[in-house]
Amino acid sequence: MKKRGRAPNQEWVLMYRKGLSRDRIASLVEAAPSTVNYHLRVALALEPKLQAEHEAATGTKLAHITAQGVERMQQLVFLVQETGLYPSRYSSSDNERTLAAWLQRRREDARAGTLASEYRDGLAVLPGWETPPRAEADEARWHQRLADLAAYRAAGNDWPRHKAIITGEEHDLGVWLHSQRYKARRGELAADKAEALDGTVPGWRAGRRRGRRPRPTHEPPTGAGSGA
């Protein structure tokens, strides 16, 4: 990755002026998105008309700023600086979920090149805010796996298996489910995750029944007579 160097990088400024997004510029010049953002913040401070030229080239307009949005931003910054953690969409706190949803929309605005400069400048005190931290990404993947498992079971499938001979979706879900059971037995599964599993896919701890599969209810027992 390229270092920041002297800002602003005029090549990157020209690319932005021509309508390229920050992420696109970072990809083309093989620089970290945070580095490109730094250079463009400097450029925008020196040349306020640059943003309007970028919008004109892309045909996009900045997302609307609201008093509520500014308040959300201030709450978010305070939360992250106080705790060192970003809000989770899966938190039991309504306020935290609201902040997480607000942050997700700002990340989408940033990727689309429509993030208002007031938001960008305000969030700049949180380095790397545009990219979800690993813990947040891991949390999102965990809940996606849970949703996938619920859909798999709802489709009429038995509990997925994790053995090597199994492939595809069943294997992927089976490995994940096996990991959750293992953690639960060792007391290493977080309480909120155990509750989510219990509520979404009841019976996940026991899994498949051992032995012969239950006989369909319409079949008579073996050896039973047919007359009265």
Query: How confident is the prediction for the chain on average, in pLDDT?
Result: 83
Residue 222 is assigned to a structural domain of this protein: no
For residue 61, what pLDDT band results from cuts at 50, 70 and 90? low
Domain count, the chain: 3
Q: Which residue has the tokens 């239950």?
A: 214
For residue 152, give Cα distances in angstroms to 145, 149, 157, 170, 171. Answer: 10, 5, 6, 8, 12
Same domain as 195, residue 146: yes
Residue 157 is assigned to a structural domain of this protein: yes
Same domain as 141, residue 168: yes
Per-residue pLDDT tens over the stretch 170-198: 999 999 999 999 999 999 998 888 999 99
**Phi, psi angle pair for 136, to nearest 5°:** -70, -40
Distance CA(142)–CA(150), nearest Å, equals: 13
| Integer Rg of the chain from CA | 26
Residue 205 is assigned to a structural domain of this protein: no
For residue 8, what pLDDT band results from cuts at 50, 70 and 90? confident
Same domain as 39, residue 95: no
Same domain as 40, residue 22: yes
Asked whether the predicted pLDDT for residue 112 surpasses 80, the reply is no
Same domain as 79, residue 54: no
pTM here is 0.49
Same domain as 172, residue 140: yes
Per-residue pLDDT tens over the stretch 17-41: 888 888 889 888 888 888 888 888 8
Please tell me the predicted confidence (pLDDT) of residue 90.
Answer: 78
Residue 225 is assigned to a structural domain of this protein: no
Helix (H, G, I), strand (E, B) or coil at 168: helix
Distance CA(148)–CA(121), nearest Å, equals: 38
For residue 70, what pLDDT band results from cuts at 50, 70 and 90? very high
Residue 21 is assigned to a structural domain of this protein: yes
Same domain as 188, residue 151: yes
Same domain as 163, residue 140: yes
| Domain extent for 85 | 67-123
